[in-house]
Structure formats: C-alpha cells, structure tokens
Structure 1
Amino acid sequence: MNYLDENSVDRLLDYPGLVDALQTAHAGQGMPETGALVMDSPASGDDKFVSLMAWAADDMIAAKLVGVFPDNMQLCPPQPTVQGIVALFDGKTGAPLLICDGGSLTRRKTAADSALGARLLSRADSQVLLVVGAGALAPHIVEAYVAVRPSLKRIIIWNRTHSRAVRLASTLEHVGVSVQAEPDLKLALAAADIVSCVTMSSAPLVRGALLRPGTHVDLIGAYAPDMREADDEVVKRAHIFVDTRTGCERSGEIAQPIAAGLITSSSILADLFDLCSGRHPGRTHPDEITMFKNVGGAHLDMYTARHLMKRAKDALEC
C-alpha cells in the first residue's frame, strides 16, 4: 500500500485524464452507496471535521477524512483550509490499497467535476471564462477549464479583495490563455461565456440579469443551506443541472429557491449520471443559460482515487 503526498497527487492527476476518468465512471455505473458524518468544532466556530464514505459493490471502498478550517489561511505560516487523507480499499476483501493527501485530491476532484459539467453543458465555442473567487481552488478551476474548453481565449478573475485576484492572475501565465484581474464584477459577468464561482459567500454574487444568452454558470462554493453564490434571477433564467442529486437539497443554490417556491426538485433536469450515459442531451440551444451545481460527494472521491491508483501503477511500470 502506497502513500501519495500532495506533489504526487498533483503530478499524477492531470486534468485531461481525470475529467475523462470521471466521465467514464459516471457513464459506466450508478451511484454507489455513500455515507457522511460532519462534526462541528466542540469549541464552537466554523471549523468542521468531515468523514465521507463510498462503497461500490465488488469494486472499491473509499473513505475521506478531512478537516475544514476556514481561518487556516490567517495563520503564520498559512495552512490550507482543507487538510486530511483519502484511503481506498478493495471492495471485495476490504484490503487497503492506497492512502493519499486529501486536500490535493479534493481540489483536483472538485475542479474536474465542474470541468466535466462544463464539457457537457457549456457552448463549445465559449471564449471567456470568469472565475469568481481567488482562493486555493481557483487556479485549479482555470487549469481544468482550459483542458476541456480549448476555445477559451480570455480568463477573468474577480475577488472581493482585488489584490488577491491580481496576484492569482500573475501566477497563471503557464495556462497559455490571457488572464486578467477585473475589479468590476458587473462588467466581468456581462463579458463571460462561462462563470465559475469558488467562494464562501452567504449572499448572491452572480446576478442573473447580467448574464448573456448562452452563458454557463458553475456554482461550487455554496455547500450549506445558508450559503448562496447566484441570485434568484439566475435560477429563473437557467436550465438547472447538478453533479449528483444525492444531497443537492442541502445546498443554498437549491434549498433556497425550493423554499421560496421558485423551483421544485423536478426542476433539476439531469445529473452527471444522466448526462454521461446519454439519458439527457444537456444543452439543447446556443442561447440556453445552464446552471450547474457542483455538490460533490464521496463517490467522486472514490472515482478520483481509483484513477489515481491506476496512474500510480502505470507510472511505476514505465
């Protein structure tokens, strides 16, 4: 059994290969059995410890143990907000197969999940990507999107603290696409073909009235019912998709519009299992606005860890 550190995970999980692996996994099997335990800090505050499990019969078992500590970036020296491990086991015998860094796998899994949604839902001729947020996940979003949308010609970064957006933009020259920081979110939204939100916002940032026809909106950050990245107008204008229906009602992007009577659960047209298997065609018109809620889940950790194990074995055989 191997332990793969952060550098190994980042090296082995290139985005073209990982997105392909997630698409194949969603097309080839249904949702595995999953379980979750989220513990709040005994000392109060926003810190959490999360245990996520996935078990695909006669295949694999994955367990992720991670801490989510929002104030870690304020430490000296700073530490990642998400830290932990992911372990993979043989689903037939229970034998441990792999342990890897949980933060790096989570970042790459999350970015690839949204990139797969964009591959299936955004316009193939999309040229401008707006990333809302400049945290640890933002550069991964850029790299993953460039991997699936070679039509991209410009990337805009917006962040509440503009200096962080400027700093992030300066580190992304290697992606081969023009990257700029924009202080005016309204201007950025009006220019975007794809909008990807990676924030911890509790109030909507993306205004539906500003979206051009044909825009794809990818919402990653609002994982709790009291969080929100897009306003009601986005929900009203968009065709709604999720990566998984399991647990999606716990996200503010879904829970709040349902509570307000704007949508029902049947308003969610498809998830990645439907899209990857061809049960739903995805985008049906160039002017359609699509909204994709990245819910995440232990099944994605399992698919990603399984691909990581294969990549590690292939690297040893070279």
Structure 2
Amino acid sequence: MLTMRYLSRTDALAAGAGDWALAVADVRDAIRLYHNGEAAMVAESVLPMGMDPREKAYGLPASLGGRFDAAGLKWTVHRARASGDLPSITSNTFVNRLSDGRPLGLVESGLLTTVRTAAVSALAIECLLPAAPRRATLLGAGRQAESHLAMLIARFPSLGTIHLWNRTASRLDRLVQTLPDATPALDQSPALVRHETLNAAIAETDVIICCTSAPEPFLLPSAVRPDRLIIQTGFHEASFETIAACDVVTADLWGDFAERSAKSLFQMYRAGRFRPEQVAADLSGLVVDGWRPPAGSSLYFSSFGLNLFDIALAQRVLQRAGQHDIGTVLPLF
C-alpha cells in the first residue's frame, strides 16, 4: 500500500527539527549541492487572496540530490492578521522522492522556516566575522527572533551578552520566556539585556540581527562599524544609506526575487542605487569557495530565505521520523 507520513510541529521537533547542528549541516549541504548543479529552485508562485496586498499564498518548489533525494513544495498562506486560533501565517511542505517521484510526507513548516533562517544566519556569522562574537544584538521579538535567540545561545558559546530590543518592549518578556523549551541547558549562558532604545541596544555589539516586519527603515548608517556584521532577515529595517555605508555586502543568493522582494537590498536595487555585481559573495561563495572579507570591513548580509533549505530540512526530519516511527502514516491509495 502506498503511504505518506504527516508530521505536526510537535512531531517535527521529536524528529530533530530543533537540532541546530543538523540544521546548519542541512544548509551547508544544500548550498553545496546547488553550487555543484545537483539542486534546483524555480521562481515562487504568488496567489493573491483578497484585496489586501498582505494576503497572499506562496508556492516555493525545489529539488535536491545527494543525501536528500527530494523534490518538494513549500506552501505558505499569509493573512493580514491572526484570527482566533488561526495564526496570520500557516505553512506546510510536501516532499516527494526525487529519484522515483514517490510521495514521502507533509510537514508543518512554520517552525522549520524560522530554523532554516537562523541556520543561515549562523553560517553568515561563522564565515564573515573575523572572530567568534562576544556580543550580539537581536532586533525584534517575534517567531524569527525566538529562533535566532535559541540559535545564538546554542551555536555561539563565545557570547557573553545578547542585547534585545523591540518597538513594543513588553514583547521581550515573552521572547525570553521561550528559552527554556528552545535551548539546551548550558553551564554558562550569555546575559540577556533588554534595552528601551535602539541606540543603546546596538552601541556595543559585534553582530546586529534584524528580525522585524518593519515596512520602513530604522537602522541608520551610524550602526555601521568595522568588524561589525549586520544581518537582515526581516523586511525593510536597513536604509539604503546604511547598506551603502558597508564595505562588504553579501547575500544568501541573488535571483529573480530581486525584482519584487520588499527586502531593503532589493528595493535599493530597483531604485537604481545598487548593482548586483556589488554583492561581494553569496552563501555559495562563503560556504563552498571559502571567500572571506578583508580585515576591518564593515559587513552586511541580506537573507532572502531560499526554498532549497525548506525542502532540505523537511526531508531530513521526514527521514528521521521514518526511522523512529514518528508522526502519522496516511494511506494514499
């Protein structure tokens, strides 16, 4: 009988979705496969779901060979706001085996999306900073911020302080309260310091990670300093002037999405103020080719979020779920 496996968010966690070492390895392997022509992505499909421009559905397909042997589609629905017990964003990833097309499973992907994004940020930190960071600043208090906070604690024991800022300061309490379930017990965890002002949060730090949905920039050129990395995973936090002030601009990838993405770097490109050839290196250049910035450079990394990584993580947790009989097996025929 032909079957497929369904994994809820709880199932995905039980199958290792929150394992940061494995998530970073997934991203490394996926970008190597893409570099070698053994993985592929096609442009996302966008379906309007109402008059509000925020209400859209996105189809994100990709395939990977190697240990993944997967072809899949991530399907995400964005609504303008949450309603009752329904969040504003719902996401699921469907995976087939690449080699023979066999349906393998369906995974709830809200968690995986934040994990793969934070795993990319981890690689950017490892590849771009001249030394392990001692201080980090996290801007935002939503799901992406939760995942990044867990990643920073798990992946960077060098950190002594993590500075936190959000426009709505009260949300930082909820952010910190997520940590006991999101991170392993550590002998020496970094100090978490909440700040009421943005300037205080970024005054003394090695890396600034933007995880907000800001439609207008608030990070100004004064945030740019030598040997400091600005990572933008959100929407439009960094002004064009801030990006222009950085010595080195990097990105996970430059693709067709530059023609329509609302992220700062791509808006800057469409405004005629940035050229694609100004990208010093993409993630492939950092991970596969080993490109590193000159000493003393001020650094910027734009994270668009590649469907390649969504399929890689979903397939890995499906493989582990099959090995340990996690989730619900559903008959197809």
Q: TM-score, normalised by structure 2?
A: 0.84
**Structure 2 equivalent of residue 62 of structure 1:** 72
Shift of residue 276 of structure 1? 1.2
- Is 2:61 the partner of 1:48? no
Match of 1:10 among 8, 13, 26: 13
**1:80-126 Cα deviation digits (max 9, x unpaired):** 33213101111122111121102122121222122222222234331
Q: What is the CA deviation profile of residues 61-93 of structure 1, one whole-angstrom value per residue up to 9, with x for unaligned ones?
A: 111111112411xx344x433213101111122
> Contact 1:2/1:97 (CA < 8 Å) preserved in 2?
yes
Aligned structure 1 segments of 4 or more residues deviating by more than 6 angstroms: none
Contact 1:190-1:211 at 8 Å conserved across structures: no
CA deviations 1:202-228 (Å, max 9, x no partner) are: 111212213332111111112xxxxx1
Instruction: Look up the equivalent residue of 1:81 and give its one-letter code.
Output: S
> Which amino acid is the alignment partner of residue 77 of structure 2?
G
Q: Is the 8 A contact 2:80 2:88 kept in 1?
A: yes
- Percentage of identical aligned residues: 24
Q: Secondary structure of the equivalent of 1:167?
A: helix
State the match for 1:189 in structure 2: 202
> Is the Cα contact below 8 Å between 2:96 and 2:104 reproduced in 1?
yes
Q: CA deviation at 1:28?
A: 3.7
Q: Is the CA contact 2:43–2:257 (under 8 Å) kept in the aligned structure 1?
A: no
Amino acid at match of 2:208: V
Shift in alpha-carbon separation, 1:180–1:302, aligned structure 2, 3 A = same
Give the number of aligned pairs.
307
Matches within 5 A, 1:206-245: 206-222=219-235, 228-238=236-246, 239-245=248-254
SS at match of 2:209: strand
Range that drifts further, 300-309 or 153-162: 300-309
Is the CA contact (8 Å cut-off) linking 2:9 and 2:111 kept in structure 1? yes
Write 1 or 2 for the structure with the bigger share of helix.
1
1:269 pairs with one of 249, 274, 280: 280
CA gap 1:242/1:88 in 2 versus in 1, 3 angstroms: same
1:225 aligned residue:
none
Q: CA deviation at 1:261?
A: 4.2
Q: Partners in 2 of 1:65 and 1:235 — Cα distance?
A: 31
Q: 2:144 aligns with which of 125, 133, 137?
A: 137
Alignment partners' CA distance in 2, 1:6 and 1:157: 27
Q: 1:288 aligns with which of 279, 282, 297?
A: 297
Q: What is the rounded CA distance, in whole Å, between the counterparts of 2:26 and 2:65 in structure 1?
A: 19
**Greater Cα offset, 188-197 or 7-16:** 7-16
Conservation of the 8 A alpha-carbon contact between 2:126 and 2:132: no
Q: CA contact under 8 A between 2:254 and 2:276: conserved in structure 1?
A: no
Structure 1 residues 80 and 123: alpha-carbon distance in aligned structure 2, compared to 1, 3 A threshold: farther
Are the counterparts in 2 of residues 241 and 271 from structure 1 also a CA contact under 8 Å?
yes
Measure, in 1, the Cα distance between the counterparts of 2:256 and 2:131: 29
SS in 2 for 1:119: helix
**Unaligned residue ranges in structure 2 (runs of 5+):** 327-333
Change (3 A) 1:76 1:56: closer
Report the Cα offset of residue 268 of structure 1.
Answer: 0.7
Separation (CA, whole Å) in 2 of partners of 1:139 and 1:221: 13
Cα drift, residue 3 of structure 1: 1.0
Once the two structures are TM-superposed, the CA of residue 316 in structure 1 deviates from its matched residue by 5.0
Find the aligned partners of 2:292 and 2:153 in 1 and give their Cα distance.
20
Equivalent residue, structure 1, for 2:319: 310
Give SS of 1:50's match: strand
1:257 equivalent in structure 2 = 268
TM superposition shift of 1:60: 1.9
Q: Which of 1 and 2 has higher RCO (CA within 8 Å, sep 6+)?
A: 2
2:45 maps to which of 9, 20, 37:
37
SS of 1:53's equivalent in the other structure is strand
